[in-house]
Structure 1
Amino acid sequence: MNFKSLPQLLDYFKEESTCIEYYEGIRWGGNPACPHCGSLNPYKTTRGYKCSDNECYKKFTVKVGTIFENSKISFRIWFAAIYLATSHKKGISSVQLALDLGITQKTAWFVLHRIREMLKEKAPKMLGEKNMVEIDEAYIGGKEKNKHTSKSRSDVYPHLKNDGTPYVPKTMVVGLIERGGDVVIKKVPRAVNYEIQPIIDKHVKAGSEIHTDESHVYRNLGITYDHSTVVHSAKQYVVGNVHTNTIENFWSVLKRGLYGVYHQVSDKHFERYLDEYAARFNTRNLTNQERFENFLVQSESVLRYRDLIKFT
């Protein structure tokens, strides 16, 4: 198999049996393992497998313990959804995915969130081992001038009329990117040093070269890192090789995707969308097939609908 486009992928995965055999190879490499107890000696049945361990003896298929668990959608549709969600630079909405694949919008929404579960960072990425790291923060949300504070903030200004529209402040995100390498993006509650410093320490190797703007939240980086800054408030954007243009470019893709494709993202699921954009960016140098297979290897994550929609 060597596909470079969606039609080629669908031509190859015409039969469900082909999809199952392919995914079993990706997940088990020819050695099926019971997802319940880990036994390596299951035997094949007419509908899948059954564990031979007397204490387990449970039936299972290759879907159990993965993002595909309890899904009635065929693997062919799932594979097409994964291809579309991971190859579109700015993502794809559930409405558009539903139209493209002939499923309901509700199903497409759940499918996309399961795919995002697969794209989550499984282990902390370490940046700065090969190149300098740029760090910057961004604010996601509508323009403050459009939020009609005078009409909605009756909790702060009791004398003002409240039209029932809640005031939603912007969401702050911090981004760390290694030039020519990977990006790490995290939601943070506020722009203060004690919220951002632990993220940097977790993902950037000590002694690495770091470039930021003049924000006060980065004032202590020089203790652990080789820290250089550019003063954006003075219209200083590049000093030699010191700049934050790489992370600024990533912000443009993220914002255009969130505003143009998804329009509005709930705070509850916001971090899932960040995982999606980071995963796509970090696999940008792979071919379509390599990216597709790379994500399938990481698909052993279960996300149930009741857990996705429950109040948090």
Structure 2
Amino acid sequence: MNFKSLPQLLDHFKEESTCKEYYAQIRWNGEPACPHCGSLKVYTTKRGFRCGDSECKKDFTVTTGTIFHNSNISLRIWFASIFLATTHKKGISSVQLALDLGITQKSAWHVLHRIREMLREKSPQMLGESKMVETDATYIGGKERNKHLNKRRSRDNNLLTNEGKAYKPKKTVIGIIERDGKVALKYVSGETTQNMVDFVTTHVPQDATIYSDEAPAYHQLKKYYTHDNVKHALNIYVEGSVHTNTIENFWSVLKRGLYGVYHQVSDKHLERYLDEYSARFNTRRLNSQERFEKFLVESESPLSYKRLTKLS
């Protein structure tokens, strides 16, 4: 099997049984394990498997405890959804996915969020193999000049208002990127020193060199790292190896995707979209099949519709 396009993938996975055999090999490598207790003592039944542990004895299938759990959508359509969501550089909307695969928009929206749950980093990844790291913040949200006149913010006694409604500022996203390497993103309350230092020290070893702009939030990094900044306020963007062009390029891809494909992202789900863009970027050197199989290995991340839509 060596698929490089969606038609090749669908040609291979024509039958549901083929999909299940393939996924069982990816998940268990030929040795089924109970997703409830982890026991390797498993019996085959007509509908799937049964745990042989005397204290468990639960029935399960190859999709139990995964992003495919309790889904009426066939694995063939799921695989096509994963392929499209992870190969489109700027993402794919639920409306477009529904049209492409013949499912409802509501189902496509849930499918895409389950895929994002699969793409989420399960533990903090350490960056800095190249010893050269860039960090920066960006802001997600509409510009004031693009809003209708009655929705623009006005100043009244130095308070920002919006026709009686509380003004909602842009969302702050901080990022770290290693040159020729990976990226890590986080949605935070603001570009503060504490947010920046906590995020950087979690993801970057102290023998790395960090480059940023001249924002005051980055000054404390000198306590932990070799740190230099580029002076954007003086229209200086590159001084030898000192620049933040790598992460600025990533921000352009992120914003073109969020604004051009998804148009608007809520505070509640922004972190999931960040997981999607960082996962695609971090696997950009893999071919389509390698990326597809890598993500399937991380698919034991169930996400129910009730939990997804629960108000935070």
If the length of structure 1 is used for normalisation, what is the TM-score?
0.95
SS of equivalent to 1:136 = strand
Structure 2 residue aligned with 1:169: 169
Structure 2 residue aligned with 1:87: 87
Does the Cα contact within 8 Å between 1:3 and 1:9 map onto a contact in 2? Answer: yes
Structure 1 residue aligned with 2:224: 224
Whole-angstrom distance in 2 between the partners of 1:27 and 1:139: 38
Aligned 1:256-295 pairs, distance under 5 A: 256-295=256-295
Mapped pair 1:53 → 2:53: yes
- Residue correspondences, number: 312
Whole-angstrom distance in 2 between the partners of 1:164 and 1:87: 44
Q: CA deviation at 1:146?
A: 3.1
Aligned 1:1-40 pairs, distance under 5 A: 1-40=1-40
Q: CA deviation at 1:37?
A: 1.1
Among all aligned residue pairs of Structure 1 and Structure 2, give the percentage whose two residues are the same amino acid.
65
Q: CA deviation at 1:308?
A: 0.4
Whole-angstrom distance in 2 between the partners of 1:5 and 1:250: 25
Does the Cα contact within 8 Å between 2:127 and 2:182 map onto a contact in 1? Answer: yes
Q: CA deviation at 1:236?
A: 0.4
Unaligned 5+ residue runs, structure 2?
none
CA deviations on 1:10-56 (whole Å, 9 max, x unpaired) are 00000000000000000000000001111101111111101111211
Structure 1 residue aligned with 2:119: 119
Q: CA deviation at 1:145?
A: 2.6
Q: CA deviation at 1:166?
A: 6.1
AA in 1 matched with 2:34? C
Mapped pair 1:194 → 2:194: yes
Q: CA deviation at 1:164?
A: 7.3
Whole-angstrom distance in 2 between the partners of 1:306 and 1:296: 23
Does the Cα contact within 8 Å between 2:133 and 2:210 map onto a contact in 1? Answer: yes
Q: CA deviation at 1:253?
A: 0.1
Does the Cα contact within 8 Å between 2:177 and 2:246 map onto a contact in 1? Answer: yes
Does the Cα contact within 8 Å between 2:211 and 2:244 map onto a contact in 1? Answer: yes
Whole-angstrom distance in 2 between the partners of 1:60 and 1:195: 43
Q: CA deviation at 1:155?
A: 11
Whole-angstrom distance in 2 between the partners of 1:139 and 1:160: 18
Whole-angstrom distance in 2 between the partners of 1:238 and 1:103: 48
Does the Cα contact within 8 Å between 1:128 and 1:208 map onto a contact in 2? Answer: yes
Whole-angstrom distance in 1 between the partners of 2:45 and 2:103: 30
Does the Cα contact within 8 Å between 1:149 and 1:167 map onto a contact in 2? Answer: no
Structure 2 residue aligned with 1:146: 146
Q: CA RMSD in A?
A: 2.0
SS of equivalent to 1:220 = helix
Whole-angstrom distance in 1 between the partners of 2:280 and 2:174: 17
Distance 1:179 1:38, change over 3 A: same
Moved more, 149-158 or 25-34: 149-158
Whole-angstrom distance in 1 between the partners of 2:282 and 2:20: 27
Structure 2 residue aligned with 1:214: 214
Mapped pair 1:183 → 2:205: no
Q: CA deviation at 1:167?
A: 3.6
Moved more, 7-16 or 159-168: 159-168
Whole-angstrom distance in 2 between the partners of 1:151 and 1:29: 56
AA in 1 matched with 2:267? D
Whole-angstrom distance in 1 between the partners of 2:129 and 2:188: 25
SS of equivalent to 2:227 = strand
Whole-angstrom distance in 2 between the partners of 1:13 and 1:274: 30
CA deviations on 1:216-270 (whole Å, 9 max, x unpaired) are 0000111111111110010100000111000000000000000000000011101
Q: CA deviation at 1:131?
A: 3.2
If the length of structure 2 is used for normalisation, what is the TM-score?
0.95
